[in-house]
Amino acid sequence: MYDFLRDQDTDIYDAITGEDTRQAEGLELIPSENYVSLAVREALSSSLTNKYAEGYPGKRYYGGQEFTDKVETLAIERAKQLFGAKFANVQTHAGAQANMAMYFALLSPGDTVLGMDLSHGGHLTHGHPVTYLTKIFNFVRYKMKDVETGEIDYDEMREVAKREKPKILLAGYSAYPRELDYEKFVSIGREVGALVVMDVAHIAGLIAGKAAKNPFDYGFDVITTTTHKTLRGPRGGLILTREDEEIAKKIDKAVFPGMQGGPLMNTIAAKAVCFGEALKPSFQTYAAQVIQNAKAMADVFITDGARLITGGTDNHLILADVWTSYGISGGEAEKLLDEAGITLNKNAIADDTRKPMDPSGIRFGTPALTTRGFKEAECAEVARLMIEVLRAKDTATVERVRARTKELAAAHPIPESFA
């Protein structure tokens, strides 16, 4: 593999093969990362990367679109089938761009969005002040009522919605381990005349695999998502519209020509491949196992007396307060565990008093481990290994755990394809 690259650019070849080794020998617990099949990788490296295809199937601005139209149409139809949507836009380059296009399609400058506070699990694109979106739109926030259980304060959400009159009520998160009450979102949204949108980037695969609730079943208008993470596809974005054709048309115009130029046709082909994989019955088994594995890891930490934000998990991720539980900051924990062959990310917890680059928490999950064939017993062992490192904080423990993580990784090689 990489024969031409090795001969032409040894620096990049060495970096890529080094990353291959890191992934093969380590355990990936970042909940927003996963492994794709070789079929997805082949689509990404295909001749479609050479082709401009501005516009949409049947309405392109360049010639030679026979096969690009076929690829994009397949991606659209498979996405619609996976999520029960009437319309899909598969062109957005990433989840952030999907959210940006959704905002510009559905809002006017100055309009209000009510979304989850970042410190309580939301995402930067849901209105954090560091983003340029806040210079254009007005973002207001809701939070958890009880950090220990994860219950959202729906009464406060309703009061804020009645007072602020948002045009969009936004659900979704990047660090929230529980299911949301979709019926309450829709009820509040309808009461104040807001469109109800969900960013399912983290749990898209769980929804597609029928292991988590589908917001469209409860009346949500639009879903935005990434196509990697639990969906196990290439890095990219996707916007789905439940049934309103006018909304779908606005979204298409916002994506192109509003936000982006030519779509990345090689990535769209890879999206189509991953959607096809997710339509297989085996993907439902995978999605259910992701949650079972996360619960197994959470149980080990709970038994050890660790403080988990929301007290556990209903999905693929766990948010642990390591500062309170083990006397180590999130940044230090990330570094130590990385040295032990366990990759995860530091993460702020609700109302964190520490700085974002060295917060009180760590965020970890099971999508990638599950792809490698880990079950509950192996995931519980990984959790125990993590706790050993977090408690001991010494080189000898790190080296011993590193040896064991390499053994576990070797016993569960990254698969080339999915049954």
- The 10s digit of each residue's pLDDT in 270-319 is 999 999 999 999 999 999 999 999 999 999 999 999 999 999 999 999 99
Q: Is residue 395 part of a domain?
A: yes
In this predicted structure, the answer to whether residue 419 has a pLDDT above a threshold of 80 is no
Q: What confidence tier does 76 reach under pLDDT thresholds 50, 70, 90? A: very high
Per-residue pLDDT for 117 more than 90? no
Active-site residue identified among 33, 54, 244, 299: 54
Which one of 17, 33, 41, 52 is the catalytic residue? Answer: 52
Q: How confident is the model at residue 229 (pLDDT cuts 50, 70, 90)?
A: very high
CATH number of the domain that residue 308 is part of = 3.90.1150.10
- Please, what is the end-to-end C-alpha distance for the chain in angstroms? 23
Q: Is the pLDDT of residue 98 over 80?
A: yes
Both 289 and 262 in one domain: the answer is: no
Report the alpha-carbon distance of residue 113 to residue 168 in Å, rounded: 5
CA distances 121 to 87, 118, 128, 138, 309, Å, are 28, 5, 12, 19, 10
Query: Please, is 366 exposed, middle or buried when counting C-beta atoms within 10 Å of its C-beta (0-12, 13-18, 19+)?
Result: buried
* Residue 267 sits in the same domain as residue 294: no
Query: What does the DSSP assignment read for 152-185?
Result: E-HHHHHHHHHHH--SEEEEE-SS--S---HHHH
**Residue 389: pLDDT band by 50, 70, 90 thresholds?**
very high
* Domain assignment of residue 175, yes or no: yes
Q: Are 236 and 359 in the same domain?
A: no
**Tokens 């076929």 map to which residue?**
70
254 occurs within a structural domain: yes
Residue 219 has pLDDT above 80, yes or no: yes
Answer whether 348's CB lies under 8 Å from 361's CB.
yes
Is 13 among the catalytic positions? no
For 183-188, which contacts have Cβ atoms below 8 Å and span 24 or more sequence positions?
Answer: 183/218, 184/154, 184/157, 185/215, 185/218, 185/220, 186/218, 186/219, 186/220, 188/154, 188/157, 188/158, 188/161
pLDDT-derived band at 118, boundaries 50, 70, 90: confident
DSSP secondary-structure letter at 414? P
Final residue in a domain of this structure, among 244, 278, 312: 278
Q: Where a domain ends, among 278, 302, 330?
A: 278
Mean pLDDT for the chain?
Answer: 96
What is the domain extent for residue 158?
A: 41-278
pLDDT confidence of residue 181: 96
Q: What total number of domains does the chain contain?
A: 2
Q: Are residues 139 and 227 in the same domain?
A: yes
User: Quick one: pLDDT at residue 294?
Assistant: 98
- Are 112 and 167 contacting, i.e. CB atoms less than 8 angstroms apart? yes
- Asked if the structure places residue 247 within a domain, the reply is yes
Percent above pLDDT 70 for the chain: 100
Residues 117 and 261 in one domain: yes
Average pLDDT over residues 384-411: 98
Instruction: Go through the chain and tell me how many residues it has.
Output: 419
Mean pLDDT of 224-238: 97
Question: Which H helix or E strand runs over 59?
Answer: strand 59-60
CB 246 within 8 A of CB 222: no
pLDDT at position 143, please? 92
Q: Please give the Cα distance from 145 to 151 (Å, whole number).
A: 6
Residue 145 domain-assigned? yes
User: Is 156 part of the annotated catalytic residue set?
Assistant: no
Q: Distance between CA 60 and CA 163 in Å, rounded?
A: 44
Distance separating alpha carbons of residues 338 and 189, to the nearest angstrom: 42
Residue 17 domain flag: no
Residue 56 sits in the same domain as residue 148: yes
Q: Are residues 265 and 322 in the same domain?
A: no
List CB contacts of 60: < 8 A, sequence separation 6 or more: 53, 54, 68, 69
Cβ contact 231:208 at 8 Å: yes
Identified catalytic residue from 78, 141, 229, 295: 229
Given pLDDT bands bounded at 50, 70 and 90, which one contains residue 346?
A: very high
Q: Inform me whether the pLDDT recorded for 126 exceeds 90.
A: no
Respond yes or no: is residue 230 known to be catalytic: no
Q: Is 416 a catalytic residue?
A: no
Residue 25 lies in a domain: no
- For residues 102 and 112, the answer to whether their CB atoms sit within 8 Å is no
What distance separates the 2 farthest-apart alpha carbons in the chain? 63
The catalytic position among 199, 221, 252, 334 is 199
Query: Which are the contacts of 34, defined by CB distance < 8 A and separation ≥ 6?
Result: 28, 228, 229, 230, 232, 367, 368, 371
Q: How far apart are CA 396 and CA 380, in angstroms?
A: 22
Do residues 123 and 173 lie in contact, with contact meaning Cβ atoms separated by under 8 Å? yes
* CATH code of 58's domain: 3.40.640.10
Residues 270 and 380 in one domain: no
Q: Is 131 a catalytic residue?
A: no
The CA distance from 200 to 291, in Å, is 16
Q: Indicate the helix (H) or strand (E) that contains 75.
A: helix 66-83
Does 338 qualify as catalytic in the annotation?
no
Count Cα neighbours of 243 within 13 Å in the Cβ-side half-sphere.
6
Given this model, what pLDDT does residue 356 score? 87
Q: Is residue 160 included in any domain, yes or no?
A: yes
Q: What is the pTM of this model?
A: 0.96
